[in-house]
Structure 1
Amino acid sequence: MIGPRTGRAIAAAMLAATTAVAGQAHSSGMNQGAALQAGPVAYVNGMPPVMDHNAYLHALLDEFEARYGADGGQFRYDGQAWYGTDYDKLWLKSEGTVGTDGRFGDGDHEVLYDRAISRYFDVQTGVRVDIDNGPTRAWGAVGVEGLALYFFNLEATAYFSDRGVAGRVQGSYDLLLTNRLILQPQVELNVYSASDRARGTGSGLSDIDTGLRLRYEWRRKFAPYIGVAYHGTFDQAASMARGQGARVHDLNFTFGIRTWF
């Protein structure tokens, strides 16, 4: 998948290459249009235009999986979608789990305005609403998302409400074993300034969800995968989980599909 930040980087490289070809053609007396094998082009300050103001729609279902472990099984999804240009977008994010009892948990749904601040990073601001079988909570949100060094996908978001503040850091990396076989380590950490017993979150480091998934891109837009996933709760959140008879550390085998359009 080519994300918006990677697309901007590729566009910049293509622009530099195009300009170099045009310059060589000019110095040798060739017509630039013939050298580029294109029709009439409107140049601005001697530079060809970059198509970065068109609006696009993109959706990614990053996790759509079943998990099996000592605590039974559960279904988990994690997806996002955006609509807009390379510079301004409306971003939607949603994730959650469904247990063997049919209860929907860990429901996190966000609506964000996204603005590019560099070639590789965007700033995002909007609202997050926790909607599942537990009490509903609403948060304001502000954060950054982009490609860190070596194209490491990174998200860091701060949330605030009348119940305090919270933070989330997510990261993943695609390691290409072959052209179609990809190994992806992933991690998500959540911290809170205050505990919320009704939702099972504790102050400090509340929980970690991490995994290692091996996917095969049978089609570029459709990739089945297998892997292992770990979910752990800590400090106050762990005490709450023990009080409810739930596991504090849970290691699962997982399989699912990843798709996008």
Structure 2
Amino acid sequence: MIALALLAAALTTGDAPSPPQRHGEHMQHQAPAADATPPEHHPPQPTDAPDSSAHAHHAGAMDAPSPADPACPPEHAAMGHCTPKPAGTMPNAAGPHPASPFPPAVTPPSPGSVQPTYADRIWGHDAMAAARATMRREHGGMAFSQVMLDLAEVQLRGGRDRYRWDGAFWYGGDINRLTLKTEGDGAFGGSTDAEVQALYSRAIGPYFNLQAGVRQDIATGPDRTYATVGVEGLAPYWFDVEGALFLSNKGELLARIEGYYDQRITQRLVLQPRAEINLSAQRVPVRQLGSGVTDAELGLRLRYEIAREFAPYVGMSWERQLGGTARYARSVGDDAGGFGVVAGIRVWF
């Protein structure tokens, strides 16, 4: 009986260690305090107070209390059981605002034009500068050339057979070019009329070039030299067009408009309608030219491209001198024009 009384007294005074407490899925052991006071001396705790001891290893930056919070005393913070809240946190209506676990977002400055100089660290600046210059030439900075003989044909007109040519050579890049043009015609066993143009060509858009230079006529009668300005290019619906003005050293003003269209029937067979009109602002008796429209030509040619660079063709052509020019031709016994069958080749390289 004495032993049972002593055991009851010990349990009443709280000298024996308390059993472990379970909170959710985690167990937390509480060590006995040296100067523990009886339970009746502790004030009652509110039911919604946070239990820091039960959630010690759950505490993170999102739900960490501030250092002034009694639930995170300094000794617990030193042992890593909880994380003190940084000072200066602004409270809100729901309580202290938790600190973000992520660093503040920093917006980088807008990058400027970055020079591609990373390879210089390995190959050196001089070697890479030469390589970049080569790349610039290969992507639009190189000079090219082309010879195009668009017409080289014989015109059969029932005993009044003639020949004709029309071609060009150009050298340069995408923007600036030197262009040489030549065209003419003549009668077999008779005279030949020819012209040569030397032009500077400047791109004024994706599809058109502005041209300026000189033209020299080589014909029967007095020769003429002309200042030339014109435009050529690719019109909508893939029409190749060209227009030019010619001002002679005698003050005579001429003009020319021409165009053609390549209609592909197959990959090798191409039908080309073609038109050309020549005009004069005044009469030029020494060249047997009247004012207005001096002559016109309409043609239809069918070519077969054995290769893109070589294509024989056949077709029909109608040419006519008009107005005062036709009267000059009849006065000397020449024909003013008519229909003819043509055969020739188109070559470029």
Classify the TM-score, shorter chain: 0.7 to 0.9
CA distance in 2, matches of 1:70, 1:231: 14
Q: Which residue of 1 aligns with 2:216?
A: 129
Given the alignment of the two structures, is residue 117 of structure 1 paired with residue 204 of structure 2, yes or no?
yes
Partner of 1:153: 240
- The answer for the alignment partner of 1:189 in structure 2 is 277
Q: Quick check: 1:225–1:257 contact (8 Å CA) kept in 2?
A: yes
Give CA-to-partner distance per residue, 1:102-161, whole Å, 9 cap, x none.
3112x1210000000000000000011111233211110101000000110000101112
C-alpha distance in structure 2 between counterparts of 1:148 and 1:219, whole Å? 26
Q: 1:189 to 1:71 in 2, by over 3 A?
A: farther
Tell whether the 8 Å contact from 1:70 to 1:250 is kept in structure 2 after alignment.
no
Alignment TM-score, normalising by the size of structure 1: 0.79
Larger Rg: 2
Whichever residue aligns with residue 113 of structure 1, its letter is Y
Checking the alignment, whether the CA contact within 8 Å between 1:192 and 1:201 is kept in structure 2 is yes
1:53 to 106, 131, 141: 141
For residues 72 and 61 of structure 1, the distance between their equivalents in structure 2, rounded to whole angstroms, comes to 24
Instruction: Give the distance between the partners of 1:202 and 1:82, measured in 2 at CA.
Output: 33
> Match of 1:104, as an amino acid?
T
Q: Paired residue for 1:227?
A: 315
Who is 1:242 aligned against? 330
2:346: which partner in 1?
Answer: 258
1:144 is aligned to 231
* Residue 218 (str. 1) matches residue 297 (str. 2): no
Distance 1:218 1:154 in 2: 26
> Unaligned 5+ residue runs, structure 1?
1-39
Query: For residues 169 and 339 of structure 2, what CA distance do their matches in structure 1 show?
Result: 29
Provide the residue aligned with 1:67 in structure 2: 155
Say yes or no: does 1:202 pair with 2:302.
no
2:286 is the counterpart of 1:172: no
TM-score normalised by L of structure 2: 0.59
Q: Which has the higher strand share?
A: 1
- Tell me the CA shift for residue 71 of structure 1: 5.3
Q: In the superposition, relative to structure 1, how do residues 71 and 167 fare at CA in structure 2: closer, same or farther (>3 Å)?
A: farther
Which structure has more RCO (C-alpha within 8 Å, separation ≥ 6)? Answer: 1
Deviation, 1:230, is: 1.2
Q: Do 1:241 and 1:248's aligned partners in 2 also have CA atoms closer than 8 Å? A: yes
Q: Deviations over 1:32-71 (max 9, x none)?
A: xxxxxxxx9x99xxxx967111101101000000001135
State the identity %. 39
Deviation at residue 243 of structure 1 after TM alignment: 0.5
| CA displacement, residues 51-109 of structure 1 (integer Å, 9 cap, x when unaligned) | 1111011010000000011351011111101000010000000011121223112x121
| CA distance 1:140–1:71, shift in 2 (3 Å) | farther
Q: How far apart, in 2, do the equivalents of 1:249 and 1:72 lie?
A: 10
For structure 2, the 5+ residue unaligned runs are 1-127
Q: Matched residues in 2 for 1:145 and 1:74: separation?
A: 28
Amino acid at match of 1:181: L
Q: Tell me, in whole angstroms, the C-alpha distance in 2 between the residues paired with 1:74 and 1:233.
A: 15
Partner SS state of residue 109, structure 1: strand
